[in-house]
Structure 1
């Protein structure tokens, strides 16, 4: 097991779940609600797992502070979209605005992370480290499959506390 592959797999599933929302009849709010509940939990648990297990390891490399701050900021933007959707009736324009805000922030985050942080980590971290983080990350996601509290983090404070 490799943390970079695990994160890429999660990213694929997130893209798939957003696409599923697009395929549901807009009047089928029960299905939209079920899919969004699962996706919102997945997004936040994934972000928390990255913040707990992956980014502290990434920060061990001297030149990763700015990238990590950007990633934490992206997570906050995703969280803001999730919270915005939660203020509105499922299927309403306001709900879709929140869902799309989360989607756009997530798309940007995944692209940057896949081309920068994950690629850097694959080149610089040994397989044992990548495996160790993956096992902990997977266990955390499995233990929190129904979600975790949504809490924004200050990117500067996060880096200071985890460097």
Structure 2
């Protein structure tokens, strides 16, 4: 598996969780569980992606600007998660913040999949793509397991 497939698999999980969450209402157990799962996925993904994908691409002229943009979007996503954490789940504002998060995440994933992956595919060789995928997947397993244990 190459890094792009590994990232896309997690992108699909994030899209699905956002879609499910957008259909929930009130301060229910289901909303809380899906939201916690989404937070773990987004936070773990950002760390692993920055460590095993972006870090390699900061060193390349062709990808440095895209990498910086991606990292900035990760910070914006973190800020939206904090806003959700600080808002009562039964409030209409919570769903508005979730829609903002959904828009930001979907924009970020589209940027990566439609532009960044193509450019990165040209600057990384096949061995790097596979090695980065292995490191990314190991980091995700460890991070998600750790977050699940503490929850």
**TM-score (normalised: structure 1):** 0.83
Q: Is the 8 A contact 1:58 1:117 kept in 2?
A: no
Q: CA deviation at 1:28?
A: 6.2
Residue aligning to 2:90: 91
Segments of 5+ residues of structure 2 without an aligned counterpart are: none
Number of equivalenced pairs: 147
**How well do the aligned residues superpose, as a CA RMSD in angstroms?**
1.7
1:64 aligns with 2:63: yes
Q: Aligned pair in 2 of structure 1 residues 63, 33: CA closer, same or farther (>3 Å)? A: same
Residue aligning to 1:144: 143
> Following the alignment from structure 1 to structure 2, what is the Cα–Cα distance between the partners of residues 28 and 88?
11
1:20 aligns with 2:20: yes
Q: CA deviation at 1:146?
A: 5.5
Q: CA deviation at 1:147?
A: 6.8
Which one is further off, 84-93 or 33-42? 84-93
> Following the alignment from structure 2 to structure 1, what is the Cα–Cα distance between the partners of residues 74 and 122?
24
Structure with the larger helix share: 2
Q: C-alpha offsets along residues 37-78 of structure 1, whole Å, 9 cap, x if unaligned?
A: 000110111011111110111223212221111111111111
Segments of 5+ residues of structure 1 without an aligned counterpart are: 149-163
SS for the counterpart of 2:144 is: coil
Q: CA deviation at 1:97?
A: 2.8
> Following the alignment from structure 2 to structure 1, what is the Cα–Cα distance between the partners of residues 31 and 82?
16
Q: Is the 8 A contact 2:26 2:89 kept in 1?
A: no
